[in-house]
């Protein structure tokens, strides 16, 4: 009897461990297939306009169908492996119980044991295997749950590229001077984006950075916000190295109007208030007026309470950009960054917004990333980048007097008539 119990317990534990380890891979496959199909559906729905532009509804439906088939196959394997595990455990217990009862019946038939002994052995065997079966169930569930949250554990194990130092001193902005010193940076080891860039933005100055696409203009903004740390060199604000200050205080001191404006699926009012959640309604209304949004909001049936949709899809590009400008105006930081802040505006709206930006930039240090040079002719200094290096810098008139990269960019953006007038071909 002891030998049967020992062999069955050892066999049960061994089978449970091995079978559970075996089926864990199917749990992972289900999780992966479920994540893939969900991502595919969300991606297709968020980008539904692109899908319709290219008439690819059937293509997206077929891709989603393929992902669902993979999920179905993975789910089937997962369920079958669970049945195999449960069936194996039940078989071991059944064989052990049958062996115990057969051996007890044999001894009763020979007169070596009584019926009471037979019942006692049956009760003891059940008392052994009931908790053992429960422990097998618990072990299986724990392993399955651990497999389900493996992605979470992997995420928790990841280290931030830029370490967060909560104990660092807060950034104190008194004047707003920004210094870029010998900056070098690359996203990939074999491709340097920024090479030995150095320039200063004096307090209250408006400095524009221009250049061809890929020259590193927007990367400077990411380094200023400390989304990345430079490979070499430093960025300082009022003499304080931004790598040595609290990140929250750094980003609190900088306001940005990004090129790609993303809004939350909330009302226009709350999207603007996001710039400073504790702002009063009066302050929000002032920001709306400065961003020239009043007429647009008044034309909406629900006014400020109009919901903008996922990522602001119910608004045009220019309307979203003006909401972003209002949000930054509401924040009122000492340092302002404009990354193509008027790229989605028509000429009339652009002039109105540029006037508003000039008003709110008074007394603020401003960094402007621009492609349209007509928007930065009033800048105190223009830095021209080329292949990650500074190739020219100076004010608008100084750079035009040099027959260099800036003048070529300026002429390329003028109309044919304007070009000819500047070249003296038209009186």
Provide the pLDDT for residue 68. Answer: 92
Provide the pLDDT for residue 421. Answer: 45
Provide the pLDDT for residue 65. Answer: 93
- Provide the pLDDT confidence category of residue 360 given band limits of 50, 70 and 90: low
Structure-block tokens of residue 249: 């205080």
Q: What angle do CA 380, 383, 384 make, to 5 degrees?
A: 140
Helical spans, DSSP H, in 150-264: 150-157, 217-224, 247-252
**pLDDT at residue 181 is higher than 50:** yes
Of residues 167 and 245, more confidently modeled: 245
Provide the pLDDT for residue 427. Answer: 39
Provide the pLDDT for residue 420. Answer: 45
Fold of the CATH domain 2-157 = ABC transporter transmembrane region fold (1.20.1560)
CA 51/CA 56 separation, integer angstroms:
5
Provide the pLDDT for residue 266. Answer: 86
**pLDDT at residue 227 is higher than 80:** yes
Provide the pLDDT for residue 426. Answer: 40
**pLDDT at residue 332 is higher than 50:** yes
Fold of the CATH domain 178-423 = Rossmann fold (3.40.50)
Provide the pLDDT for residue 76. Answer: 92
Considering the chain, what is the average pLDDT of its residues? 84
- Provide the pLDDT confidence category of residue 424 given band limits of 50, 70 and 90: very low
Provide the pLDDT for residue 72. Answer: 92
Range in 10-19, 265-274, 335-344, 375-384 with the lowest mean pLDDT: 335-344
CA 129/CA 244 separation, integer angstroms:
62
Residue identified by tokens 């890929």 is 214
Provide the pLDDT for residue 349. Answer: 63
Task: Provide the whole-model pTM.
Answer: 0.73
The mean per-residue pLDDT over the stretch 235-249 comes to 88
**pLDDT at residue 361 is higher than 50:** yes
The mean per-residue pLDDT over the stretch 190-205 comes to 86
Provide the pLDDT for residue 353. Answer: 66
Most confident segment among 69-78, 190-199, 209-218, 292-301: 69-78
Range in 60-74, 149-163, 234-248, 258-272 with the lowest mean pLDDT: 149-163
Residue boundaries of the structural domains of the chain: 2-157, 178-423
DSSP 282-340: HHHHHHHHHTT-HHHHHTSTTGGG-B--GGGTTS-HHHHHHHHHHHHHHH--SEEEEES
- CB within 8 Å of 10: residues ≥ 6 apart: none
Provide the pLDDT for residue 62. Answer: 93
């Amino acid at each position: 009897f002891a030998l049967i119990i020992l062999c069955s317990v050892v066999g049960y534990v061994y089978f449970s461990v091995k079978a559970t380890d075996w089926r864990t891979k199917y749990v992972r496959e289900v999780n992966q297939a479920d994540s893939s199909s969900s991502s595919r559906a969300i991606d297709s729905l968020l980008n539904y306009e692109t899908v319709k532009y290219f008439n690819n509804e059937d293509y997206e439906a077929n891709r989603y169908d393929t992902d669902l088939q993979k999920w179905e196959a993975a789910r089937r394997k997962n369920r079958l492996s669970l049945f195999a595990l449960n069936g194996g455990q039940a078989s071991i217990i059944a064989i052990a119980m049958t062996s115990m009862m057969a051996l007890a019946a044999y001894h009763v038939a020979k007169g070596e044991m009584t019926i009471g002994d037979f019942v006692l052995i049956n009760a003891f065997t059940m008392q052994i295997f009931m908790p053992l079966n429960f422990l097998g169930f618990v072990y299986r569930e724990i392993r399955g749950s651990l497999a389900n949250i493996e992605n979470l554990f992997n995420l928790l194990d990841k280290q931030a590229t830029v370490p967060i130092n909560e104990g660092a001193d807060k950034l104190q902005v008194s004047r707003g001077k920004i210094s870029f010193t010998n900056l070098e940076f690359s996203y990939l080891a074999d491709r340097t984006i920024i090479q030995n860039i150095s320039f200063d933005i004096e307090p209250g100055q408006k400095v524009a950075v221009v250049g061809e696409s890929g020259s590193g203009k927007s990367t400077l903004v990411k380094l200023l916000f400390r989304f990345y740390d430079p490979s070499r060199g430093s960025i300082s604000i009022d003499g304080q190295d931004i790598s040595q200050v609290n990140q929250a205080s750094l980003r609190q001191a900088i306001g940005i109007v990004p090129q790609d404006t993303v809004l939350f699926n909330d009302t226009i009012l709350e999207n603007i208030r996001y710039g400073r959640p504790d702002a009063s309604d009066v302050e929000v209304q002032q920001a709306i007026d400065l961003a020239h949004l009043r007429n647009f909001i008044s034309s909406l049936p629900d006014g400020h309470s109009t919901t903008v949709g996922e990522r602001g899809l119910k608004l045009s590009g220019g309307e979203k950009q003006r909401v972003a400008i209002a949000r930054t105006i509401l924040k009122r930081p000492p340092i302002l960054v404009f990354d193509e802040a008027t790229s989605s505006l028509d000429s009339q709206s652009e002039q109105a917004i540029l006037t508003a930006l000039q008003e709110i930039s008074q007394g603020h240090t401003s960094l402007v990333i621009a492609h349209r040079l007509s928007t930065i002719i009033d800048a105190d200094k223009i830095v021209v980048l080329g292949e990650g290096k500074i190739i020219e810098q100076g004010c608008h008139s100084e750079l035009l007097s040099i027959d260099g990269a800036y003048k070529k960019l300026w002429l390329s953006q003028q109309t044919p008539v304007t070009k000819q007038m500047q070249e003296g071909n038209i009186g």
